[in-house]
Chains A and B, each alone.
Chain A
């Protein structure tokens, strides 16, 4: 019996260890490189010079940057994480993500755990303003810098508390209310009158702002918000069912607005309309990009779409990296404004995926390094803001395009 007990315990421990070890991330790989360089006696002088130059491309210390984000597997969250990983690889930082954030208290827990994991700075996509005082005190107690991503602070009292903290470096955000309004206006321009909305449960700062902008457009242009679905965990199948319910209940439906199409929600809408031969007849406007957009736009399955804001965390990341490297871009917290990208044609979508998201990144190694004052002493906060403000497909193509943009688009 003792053998059985021992075997059980050992097998459990082994399974746990094997699983965890197999899945562990490549921790602290980069710091070994300088050591290896010194130890390899046979290296030529030229190689040593090259390695010295390479090491100068990295920050003097491997800073650990934490990110509190809803997911790194959906279209938006995944693209952002890939870009941050890429930037960290270029300048020599380590990224840690915490996606266990189903409620306000779990966002606090996620932040605490990242601090415990030794993060030097943390970027947070906060659920609402209300949790920020707590996060501020946590970061202050532990001497950890923090920034907000995709968010701005609207509550004046909270804003004052957070912005008075020396550990708060700033935020990157988009005009969510304005994009909601523009989406609403696009429905009006296409002749829609009765629109259903698929959105998040009330309380999500981003979705609420987009909703408010859409409502403003409805009021201004005399459109009706005839129904809505609010769910934070919608899947494609559930969204398809929701669309079928809209179609069955509201024959007058001529538009569907999706406040956040990431995580297969937009695919569910497109499928729901296609199943009932309503593609093109019921207009679809959505915020957040998904894959195969060129195909969907070409087929008329999507009428207006804005997104591309996966680069948002990069600018907050730069605020943190510059601070940690001892070359802060500003002595106060800063807000960096970013534009949404609007895709209107299949060519736009193809260019976007060729140059911005997918196999390529909107900023190459040189451009990423140039955002860090440690590598580029001329970098200023104004310049970083200008880079963010200039972000568009045309901007990326002008920097990375090889002159055959139209050819690529026609393929």
Chain B
């Protein structure tokens, strides 16, 4: 009974936190937060975060992490920026394919060479950032003005809904999601039950990196360029969003796609709200840290402390 109640608390707290944050900033900003214009803005800012954290959910559900997402976004954005001069919007699938290939490399290093995921992805974070600097020619790469049109609210909203719906369906109703959660709950049991652990891990990293390609493309059209520091700290934002959304970093059956969505929106609203409220920029980072700590405290399963595999 007690365990069930604890699980319920963990499930409800992120949602209540999101509502609390919305209400607080709606009052603090004298109604600016929930204007249609500002909500569009928040969604625009949260778009890549939602897509990235939804994709990362498949990795986190398995109890693994991906610290290379920021660098994945960076390298795919820079490559897409170069490619966009030749192939226009087809730079998007090219970026996703490149991302998927790099993600599979991450997965192979993890699965075949038995290197822990955080070591692999920390290493690729640095390798890919170095490559990005090299490919970018040491600066930023501009994109054709015609691509600016793809930084559009309706397009992003459609893509976002499609990705979240597809991910939620796969996560809850297909083997992809069930196996991912099974691996997070107990890898030995999952393996003995016939779950293809290695393939699922490859799938997780491939999917996550492919979505980084998509994020890289949209970051690129949003900024009108891709630079050596495109995607900087993206992985940190993803982890913060997942934790704020109540995603257990130890993975397992408590993992939910909605955690990614709720967490991303909470983080985007926090960032927007603090500026709209004219909160001193010097304390904004501190506030983010405090909220992150509270979120971890409220949602972290203290009995399962084996976080990173």
Chain A residues within CB distance 8 Å of chain B: 1, 4-5, 8-9, 12-13, 15-17, 19-20, 23-25, 27, 72-73, 94, 96-100, 102-110, 112-114, 116-118, 127-128, 130-134, 137, 155, 201-203, 208, 230, 232
With both beta carbons as reference points, the residue of chain B lying nearest to A22 in the complex is identified as B283
Alpha-carbon distance A132/B276, docked complex (angstroms): 22
Distance of A248 from chain B, by nearest CB (Å):
22
Q: A202 with B17: in contact, given A5-B9, A112-B44, A133-B148 (CB under 8 Å)?
A: no
B281 touches A127 (CB 8 A): no
B225 touches A20 (CB 8 A): no
Distance of B145 from chain A, by nearest CB (Å):
7
Within 8 A of A (CB), among B215-248: 219, 222-233
Chain B residues within CB distance 8 Å of chain A: 5, 9, 12-13, 16-17, 20-21, 24, 28, 32, 37-38, 41, 44-45, 48, 133, 136-142, 145, 148, 151, 219, 222-233, 271-272, 274-284, 286-287, 290-291, 294, 298
With both beta carbons as reference points, the residue of chain B lying nearest to A72 in the complex is identified as B281
Q: A23 with B148: in contact, given A96-B278, A201-B133 (CB under 8 Å)?
A: no
Measured between beta carbons, the chain A residues less than 8 angstroms from B137 are 202
Alpha-carbon distance A337/B138, docked complex (angstroms): 27
Report whether over half of chain A's contact residues are helix, strand or loop; otherwise say mixed: helix
B271 touches A104 (CB 8 A): no
With both beta carbons as reference points, the residue of chain A lying nearest to B293 in the complex is identified as A15
Report whether over half of chain B's contact residues are helix, strand or loop; otherwise say mixed: helix
A104 touches B277 (CB 8 A): no
Distance of A57 from chain B, by nearest CB (Å):
23
With both beta carbons as reference points, the residue of chain A lying nearest to B294 in the complex is identified as A12
Taking A94-B278, A105-B219 as given, write out 16 further A-B residue pairs in contact, using a Cβ cutoff of 8 Å, ordered by the A residue number: A13-B20, A16-B291, A17-B24, A20-B277, A20-B279, A23-B283, A97-B281, A113-B272, A113-B276, A116-B276, A117-B278, A127-B227, A130-B142, A134-B224, A202-B136, A208-B138
Q: A128 with B227: in contact, given A105-B219, A112-B44, A202-B139 (CB under 8 Å)?
A: yes
B228 touches A203 (CB 8 A): yes
With both beta carbons as reference points, the residue of chain A lying nearest to B138 in the complex is identified as A202
Q: A112 with B228: in contact, given A16-B291, A130-B223, A203-B140 (CB under 8 Å)?
A: no
Distance of B149 from chain A, by nearest CB (Å):
11
Alpha-carbon distance A24/B225, docked complex (angstroms): 35
User: What would 18 A/B residue contacts be, using CB atoms closer than 8 Å?
Assistant: A1-B5, A8-B298, A17-B24, A19-B287, A20-B287, A24-B28, A97-B281, A100-B271, A103-B230, A104-B219, A105-B223, A113-B276, A133-B148, A134-B148, A202-B136, A202-B139, A208-B139, A230-B133
Distance of B256 from chain A, by nearest CB (Å):
19
